[in-house]
Structure 1
Amino acid sequence: MCGAVRFTATEVPVNVGACHCEMCRRWTGSALIGVTVRTENVIWEGPVSVIASSEWAERGFCGRCGSGLYFRVTQEGQWFGNTELPIGVFDDADGFVMTNEIYIDHKPDSFAYAGEGRRLMTRQECVEQFGVLEGGGPED
Structure 2
Amino acid sequence: MLAIDNGMLKNITGESFITRYSSSEWAQRGFCNKCGTSLFYYLVPAEQYHFPVGLLDSELQFKFSHQIFIDEKPDYYFFGNETQNMTGAEVFAHFENEGNS
Alignment: residue pair count: 98
| Deviation per residue, 1:26-56 (Å, 9 max, x gap) | xxxxxxxxxx63xxx2222151112122232
Q: Given that residues 47 and 63 in structure 1 are in contact (C-alpha distance below 8 angstroms), is that contact kept between their aligned partners in structure 2?
A: yes
Give matches, 1:1-140, under 5 Å.
Answer: 7-13=1-7, 37=9, 41-45=10-14, 46-74=16-44, 77=45, 79=46, 81-115=47-81, 117-131=82-96
For the residue of structure 1 that corresponds to 2:92, the secondary structure is helix
In structure 2, do the counterparts of structure 1 residues 71 and 61 end up closer, same or farther at CA, with 3 Å as the change threshold? same
TM-score by length of 1: 0.58
TM-score by length of 2: 0.75
Runs of 4+ in 1 over 3 A off after TM superposition: none
- Structure 1 residue runs of 5 or longer lacking an equivalent are 1-6, 14-35, 135-140
| Structure 2 Cα separation of the partners of residues 110 and 59 of structure 1 | 27
Amino acid of the residue matched to residue 11 of structure 1? D
| Deviation per residue, 1:61-101 (Å, 9 max, x gap) | 11111111111123xx3x1x222232222233530111111
Query: What percentage of residue pairs aligned between the two structures are identical?
Result: 29
The higher-RCO structure (CA 8 Å, 6+ apart) is 1
| Deviation per residue, 1:8-31 (Å, 9 max, x gap) | 314341xxxxxxxxxxxxxxxxxx
Q: Given that residues 56 and 132 in structure 1 are in contact (C-alpha distance below 8 angstroms), is that contact kept between their aligned partners in structure 2?
A: no
